[in-house]
Structure 1
Amino acid sequence: MQRTRGRAAVTLAAAPGGARLTHLHQSGSAKAMLPRIHTPRPEVVFLNTAGGLTGGDRMSFALTLAPGASATATTQTAERAYASSGGVAELAIDMRVGAGGALDWLPQETILFEGSALSRRTVIALEGDARLLMLETVVLGRIAMGETLTSAYLHDSRSVTRDGRPVLMEPLRLTAETLRRGGASAGLRGARAIATLALVAPGAEDALGPLRAAFPGDGVEAAASAWNGKCVARFMGSDAALLRRALVRAITTLRGGPLPRVWQI
């Protein structure tokens, strides 16, 4: 059976207030767009024209910000991991931010379908005093269709380094066994959507108070901590729409501005 292959890579150099494009590569089903916006800080929008990922697919997105460059990167829509007829879909995300640069990596949700199998690796390398705001959201099943996952596989590895040294490691592994014990106190406790939001920057600890103040009330559980230039928040909820609204409040608090234009609220 035919399988999807794709690679998109973008390089941006510093420009007054943001960045400018210096390199763009697109192949296969992976694309990158830089829509026209009304601020000097560009938005890079990655997309998979195949419409989703299934077993055997291979996709990669890469972004390099030269020293002093600032940009926001996101995905055009939610990424869908479809049921696999064999093998595991692989998605690799590699990003580099030069000293004095700033990256907001704010992809939209990843939705796991029943029987899906996805391995995703995200590696972000920071140099010097570079700043990173990073989000990852996983939705367990097509909630609007009443789908409840009983069999799915996700291996999600996220790592952030600064000058070659690890500063944040986020491994996540979900299997059919995980889903079976999802109601346990050490499991998902019935959550249908989960997210991690992390600010990695000098002085990130100062964001903890405002972030906690932005946490929602009913419907979404959230907690945050801050240490050694990091502020990390985790969210979980039974409804993906409620979780998304909670994330909007948290991201807006940390960004000090609106979300990328492609986000639909």
Structure 2
Amino acid sequence: MLDLHHPQANRTDTAQMQRVRGRAHVVMGAGGLKDLHQSGSAKAMMPKVHSHVPEVVFLNTSGGLTAGDRLDYRLEVEAGGQLIGTTQTAERAYASVAQGANAEVSVALVAGEGATLEWLPQETILFERSRLSRHTKAEIAGDARFLFVESLVLGRAAMGEVIESLHLMDRRDIRRAGRLEFMEPLEIDAGLLAARDHPATLNGARAIATVGLFDQGAEGMADLVKQITQEGVTAGVSGWNGKLVIRAMAADGYPLRRYVAQVLIKIRQADLPRVWQV
């Protein structure tokens, strides 16, 4: 394609930057793949695996997110099926140049009767002045098993990055048989970052993670998970009414990643997806 010079191209008040649009949807039945859609920068790959449980690896080919970008992922496993969803690498949210605009990510997860769905994306790295709004919604049947992890890293410690200003709106809703089982809204902005050392906020951490298991008897794994330790990581484990929730924080992304990997391996009694590097 030939790009021609536009007389307004150098004017920052009128220049329109190209924005990312991506949509990737996968539906898996008990007998195999039933539907696959991918468009824009969102891709869904199904690598060969040694396990009998198929894996879907989502990829954002734009390399990161900034203001005005939109990604839409959907992962559905029908009755009796099993499916693992993950991401090819860490997602990155870069500085926003558009005042007040956000990058937007929507994740829809569906598990049918007797199905097992695991949503195991790798971490999201937030850079200075990034703006990200993400909403993850899971709809699971009454007897479905659902496992998820979400990890956030505020800048790269190895590069000496200290994040002073960003805006994150991150929300997770999980419904079982139409009933709200779990809701977790999280907002991080410059005000919270200014108080990051307070025990009621981040307590000095720059990496945080939540792991959740929703399954009959999930609370019974709490004592096993409490035995997992990792130097530099502080974690809390709660189990109740078919739910197991682990929250962890660390001063850097690497020890947190190692801890999360141990937790997932213990819960799953299986290795992590092959794209994970620990």
TM-score with structure 2 length normalisation? 0.92
Report the alpha carbon displacement of residue 128 of structure 1 after superposing the two structures with TM. 1.8
State the 4+ residue runs in structure 1 displaced beyond 2 angstroms: none
Unaligned runs of 5+ in 2: 1-16
Larger Rg: 2
Report the alpha carbon displacement of residue 178 of structure 1 after superposing the two structures with TM. 0.6
Measured against aligned partners, the alpha-carbon deviations of 1:171-198 in whole angstroms (never above 9, x if no partner) come to: 1000000100001120101101000001
Unaligned runs of 5+ in 1: none
Report the alpha carbon displacement of residue 209 of structure 1 after superposing the two structures with TM. 1.1
Question: What secondary structure is seen at the aligned counterpart in 1 of 2:198?
Answer: coil
Instruction: State the alpha-carbon separation in 2 of the partners of residues 183 and 214 from structure 1.
Output: 25
Letter in 1 for 2:240: W
Instruction: State the alpha-carbon separation in 1 of the partners of residues 218 and 108 from structure 2.
Output: 23
Q: Which residue is 1:121 aligned to?
A: 135
Instruction: State the alpha-carbon separation in 2 of the partners of residues 84 and 113 from structure 1.
Output: 10
Structure 1 residue corresponding to 2:147, chosen from 130, 133, 141: 133
Q: Which residue is 1:65 aligned to?
A: 77
The reply on whether 1:236 has 2:252 as its aligned counterpart is: no
Instruction: State the alpha-carbon separation in 2 of the partners of residues 72 and 43 from structure 1.
Output: 5
Instruction: State the alpha-carbon separation in 2 of the partners of residues 136 and 55 from structure 1.
Output: 21
Letter in 2 for 1:62: R
Instruction: State the alpha-carbon separation in 2 of the partners of residues 94 and 185 from structure 1.
Output: 33
Q: Which residue is 2:121 aligned to?
A: 107
Report the alpha carbon displacement of residue 214 of structure 1 after superposing the two structures with TM. 1.7
The answer to whether the Cα contact below 8 Å between 1:5 and 1:57 also exists between their aligned partners in 2 is yes
Q: Which residue is 1:8 aligned to?
A: 24
Measured against aligned partners, the alpha-carbon deviations of 1:3-41 in whole angstroms (never above 9, x if no partner) come to: 0001000000003xxxx1110000100000000111210
Structure 2 residue corresponding to 1:33, chosen from 45, 65, 74: 45
Letter in 1 for 2:21: R
The answer to whether the Cα contact below 8 Å between 1:94 and 1:122 also exists between their aligned partners in 2 is yes
Measured against aligned partners, the alpha-carbon deviations of 1:137-157 in whole angstroms (never above 9, x if no partner) come to: 000012221100000110000
Structure 2 residue corresponding to 1:207, chosen from 215, 221, 239: 221
TM-score with structure 1 length normalisation? 0.97
Instruction: State the alpha-carbon separation in 1 of the partners of residues 241 and 217 from structure 2.
Output: 8
Q: Which residue is 1:90 aligned to?
A: 104
Instruction: State the alpha-carbon separation in 2 of the partners of residues 205 and 129 from structure 1.
Output: 15
Aligned length in residues: 260
Instruction: State the alpha-carbon separation in 2 of the partners of residues 143 and 185 from structure 1.
Output: 21
Instruction: State the alpha-carbon separation in 1 of the partners of residues 228 and 199 from structure 2.
Output: 25
Q: Which residue is 1:159 aligned to?
A: 173
Q: Which residue is 1:78 aligned to?
A: 90
Report the alpha carbon displacement of residue 94 of structure 1 after superposing the two structures with TM. 0.3
